[in-house]
């Protein structure tokens, strides 16, 4: 309607409230608007990092669904073969993609207020809470409504109701837990992949306890981050060791141990806090705009250490998947507690290097301007990719043959099918909601785009 008013009644169409719903505004000025240069405070590499991480999440979920939910012809063989192949490590350990989003969330949660403070704008905690809650919750509520009511009527197949009715019933019963961001502490919860939003929101609600000290007493704020990070790492170590839990969420452990790991480590906010806290520290460092001059050999050493550490995090997971491996609680505790902060430190180097001119080809790729529209769609894509996956599983009429080619083929299809859902949710819900909140809260567009908190699952 606002688009028609804008076309036929230009003066009325320029009304700020109506313009928030205009297709021209949401499509051209929001989604398709590309950066014209590096404005002060612009962290361009984050757009590429978001986009690549979101594709990684979808890819891992494609493999997971193929191995656990599809009726397959070769389940036992595929499980055995796929978990023994070295190049499967990024899939078996794709959970670190969630830690990437947690780190970005912590970074921006600190970076934006500190940049605003440097420009003389005070940090308003009430506005911070309201804006963050509404911006995330409005698209989430629409997605929950879609799964609760509409989705089950969009298809029919041999397994359609087997896959879709339980999800629909859970969303009808427990929708409130999602919108209160406490569903990660329920055994059965609506849209299971949204556990990440709960963790991110709970950490964001506590973030002002760190933001205020970083503004007024930076040393105390950084000390608090350090102590809390160590506490999170120590808690994961202690619980993993005493409960005899696996290295991470693994396919080759019994169901009881896997569920135990999920409940007390994987979706438990204090246990997932270290990447977020490290991101907060990075946000403080970047906000100070201190340029450190590094010699070429220093840059090379930095990238070599970062690469070696990242590869170690990803590929060490092959050890507990090897046929000859004997379970060892101490090894599991060390890896389980250290791999997330180690991965986060790798990301910190990449972001810091890109921002300070040491990123080279990595920065050229991650800061590619056409990642910006895709980055804006990541939250909507995150919300909708899981419903698309379960719809495909419900429509499948023949047993699935698990292979790398078939999984790549399925991933490509899921990605393409998710895109129109994501575009519609962004244009019809997310972007208009953000436009209205800019009017209500007086939020600057530049800050809002930099503060895109996306997420969201693994």
- Of 16 and 250, the structure prediction assigns the larger pLDDT to 250
Q: Return the sign of the alpha-carbon dihedral for residues 171, 248, 281, 36.
A: negative
Residue 144 has pLDDT above 50, yes or no: yes
Q: Tell me if 369 is assigned to some domain.
A: yes
Q: Tell me if 260 is assigned to some domain.
A: yes
Orientation of helix 45-68 relative to helix 378-395, angle to 10°? 20
Q: Tell me if 114 is assigned to some domain.
A: yes
* Mean predicted lDDT score pLDDT of the chain: 86
At residue 4, the pLDDT reads 47
At residue 374, the pLDDT reads 92
Dihedral, CA of residue 121, residue 122, residue 126 and residue 131, to nearest 10? 20
Query: Within a 13 Å sphere around the CA of 41, how many CA atoms are in the beta-carbon half?
Result: 21
Query: Per the confidence metrics, is the pTM higher than 0.95?
Result: no
At residue 454, the pLDDT reads 36
Please report the DSSP string for 172-186 in residue order: HHHHHHHHTT-GGGS
At residue 437, the pLDDT reads 84
Which residues, 6 or more positions from 352, have their beta carbon under 8 angstroms from its beta carbon?
282, 285, 286, 358
- pLDDT tens digit string along 119-133? 888 899 999 999 999
- pLDDT tens digit string along 404-416? 888 888 899 999 9
Mean pLDDT, range 430-457, rounded to an integer: 62
- Of 90 and 291, the structure prediction assigns the larger pLDDT to 90
Q: Tell me if 279 is assigned to some domain.
A: yes
d(CA 394, CA 160): 4
- What does the chain come to in residues? 458
Structure letter (DSSP) for residue 400: B
Which residues, 6 or more positions from 361, have their beta carbon under 8 angstroms from its beta carbon?
none
d(CA 447, CA 367): 18
Mean pLDDT, range 351-365, rounded to an integer: 92
Q: Tell me if 286 is assigned to some domain.
A: yes
Percent of the chain beyond pLDDT 70? 88
At residue 149, the pLDDT reads 92
C-beta of residue 377 within 8 angstroms of C-beta of residue 422: yes
* Secondary-structure percent of the chain, ordered helix, strand, coil, rounded to 5: 75, 0, 25
Range of the domain at 134: 38-450
357: left (phi over 0), alpha (psi -120 to 50) or beta: left
C-beta of residue 138 within 8 angstroms of C-beta of residue 430: yes
- Of 367 and 85, the structure prediction assigns the larger pLDDT to 367
Which residues, 6 or more positions from 156, have their beta carbon under 8 angstroms from its beta carbon?
395
Q: How confident is the model at residue 431 (pLDDT cuts 50, 70, 90)?
A: confident
Q: How far is CA 342 from CA 307, 336, 349, in A?
A: 11, 11, 11
Residue 402 has pLDDT above 90, yes or no: no
Question: How many domains are contained in the chain?
Answer: 1
Mean pLDDT, range 259-280, rounded to an integer: 94
d(CA 419, CA 351): 27
- Report residue 14 CA to chain centroid gap: 35
Mean pLDDT, range 418-441, rounded to an integer: 88
Q: Tell me if 256 is assigned to some domain.
A: yes
Numbers of helices and strands, H then E, in the chain? 24, 0
Mean pLDDT, range 360-386, rounded to an integer: 92
Q: Tell me if 69 is assigned to some domain.
A: yes
Percent of the chain beyond pLDDT 90? 53
At residue 451, the pLDDT reads 42
Q: Tell me if 19 is assigned to some domain.
A: no
At residue 34, the pLDDT reads 76
């Amino acid at each position: 309607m606002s688009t028609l008013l804008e076309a036929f009644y230009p003066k009325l169409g320029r009304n700020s409230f109506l313009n928030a719903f205009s297709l021209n505004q949401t499509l051209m000025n929001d989604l398709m608007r590309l950066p014209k240069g590096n404005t002060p405070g612009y962290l361009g590499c984050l757009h590429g990092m978001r986009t690549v991480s979101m594709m990684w999440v979808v890819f891992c979920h494609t493999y997971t669904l193929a191995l656990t939910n599809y009726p397959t012809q070769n389940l036992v063989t595929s499980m055995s073969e796929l978990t023994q192949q070295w190049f499967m490590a990024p899939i078996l350990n794709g959970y670190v993609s969630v830690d990437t989003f947690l780190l970005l969330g912590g970074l921006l949660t600190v970076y934006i207020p500190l940049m605003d403070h440097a420009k003389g704008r005070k940090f308003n905690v009430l506005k911070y809470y309201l804006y963050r809650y509404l911006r995330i919750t409005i698209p989430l509520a629409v997605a929950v409504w879609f799964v609760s009511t509409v989705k089950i009527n969009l298809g029919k197949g041999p397994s359609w109701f087997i896959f879709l009715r339980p999800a629909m019933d859970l969303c009808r019963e427990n929708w409130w837990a999602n919108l209160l961001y406490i569903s990660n502490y329920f055994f059965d919860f609506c849209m299971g992949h949204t556990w990440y939003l709960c963790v991110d929101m709970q950490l964001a609600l506590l973030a002002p306890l760190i933001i205020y000290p970083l503004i007024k007493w930076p040393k105390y704020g950084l000390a608090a981050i350090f102590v809390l990070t160590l506490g999170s790492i120590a808690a994961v170590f202690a619980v993993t060791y005493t409960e005899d839990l696996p290295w991470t969420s693994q396919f080759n452990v019994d169901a009881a141990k896997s569920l135990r790991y999920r409940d007390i480590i994987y979706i438990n906010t204090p246990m997932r806090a270290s990447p977020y806290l490290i991101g907060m520290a990075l946000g403080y460092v970047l906000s100070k705009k201190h340029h450190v001059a590094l010699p070429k050999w220093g840059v090379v050493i930095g990238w070599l250490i970062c690469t070696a550490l990242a590869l170690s995090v990803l590929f060490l997971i092959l050890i507990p998947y090897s046929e000859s491996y004997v379970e060892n609680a101490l090894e599991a505790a060390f890896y389980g507690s250290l791999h997330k902060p180690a991965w986060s430190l790798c990301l910190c180097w990449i972001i810091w290097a890109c921002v300070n001119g040491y990123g080279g080809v990595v920065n050229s790729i991650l800061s590619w301007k056409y990642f910006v529209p895709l980055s804006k769609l990541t939250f909507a894509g995150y919300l909708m990719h899981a419903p698309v996956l379960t719809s495909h599983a419900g429509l499948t009429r023949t047993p699935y043959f698990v292979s790398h080619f078939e999984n790549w083929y399925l991933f490509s299809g899921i990605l393409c099918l998710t895109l129109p859902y994501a575009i519609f949710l962004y244009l019809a819900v997310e972007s208009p909601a953000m436009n209205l909140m800019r009017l209500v809260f007086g939020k600057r567009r530049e800050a809002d785009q930099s503060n895109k908190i996306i997420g969201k699952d693994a």
